């Protein structure tokens, strides 16, 4: 048995994006990048980056609450690569690749035609940064 919270309607998500998501995501990512350049703030910065799809368009994670046979409730979702692999990826690729990725996505949001591509890119940002599957 599982319970997955569904995304808000497309209309609500579109209104959120138009009135809040596009500018809040820019602020959110600025704070996340600041935290990422500090050793102490890095874990929070990565978590913030992983939440970009939610901030941008209220997109829910693919994570679910699943009831086990013993009655316990656990969170499940896409299988993630090992933390070691994700850390190595971030150090050698993720930090600079995600900066380029974010810049291109932001430029695309400045045109009406580019917005759909930008939203897809922002939704993939957690994977680009640290191989995190949202």
Mean pLDDT for 9-23 is 92
pLDDT digit string, tens, across residues 94-105: 989 999 999 999
State residue 104's pLDDT score. Answer: 95
Instruction: Please list, residue by residue across 114-124, b when 16 or more beta carbons sit within 10 angstroms of its beta carbon and e when fewer do.
Output: bbeebbebbbb
Q: Measure the CA–CA gap between 49 and 33, rounded to whole angstroms.
A: 8
State residue 101's pLDDT score. Answer: 95
pLDDT digit string, tens, across residues 23-58: 999 999 999 989 988 889 989 998 999 899 999 999
On the question of pLDDT at 93 being above 70, the answer is yes
pLDDT digit string, tens, across residues 67-84: 667 776 666 678 889 989
Mean pLDDT for 12-27 is 92
Per the model's pLDDT, the better-predicted residue between 79 and 89 turns out to be 89
On the question of pLDDT at 9 being above 50, the answer is yes
For the chain, give the mean pLDDT. 86
Element (H, E) at 65: strand 64-67
On the question of pLDDT at 60 being above 90, the answer is no
């Amino acid at each position: 048995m599982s319970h997955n919270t569904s995304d808000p309607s497309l209309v609500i998500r579109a209104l959120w994006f138009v009135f809040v998501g596009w500018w809040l995501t820019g602020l959110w990512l600025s704070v996340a990048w600041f935290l990422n350049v500090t050793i102490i703030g890095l874990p929070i910065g990565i978590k913030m980056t992983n939440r970009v799809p939610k901030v941008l368009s209220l997109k829910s994670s693919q994570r679910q609450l699943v009831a086990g046979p013993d009655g316990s409730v656990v969170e499940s979702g896409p299988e993630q690569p090992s933390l070691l692999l994700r850390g190595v990826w971030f150090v050698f690729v993720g930090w600079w690749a995600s900066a380029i990725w974010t810049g291109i996505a932001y430029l695309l949001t400045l045109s009406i035609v580019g917005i759909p591509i930008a939203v897809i890119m922002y939704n993939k940002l957690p994977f680009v940064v640290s191989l995190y599957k949202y």
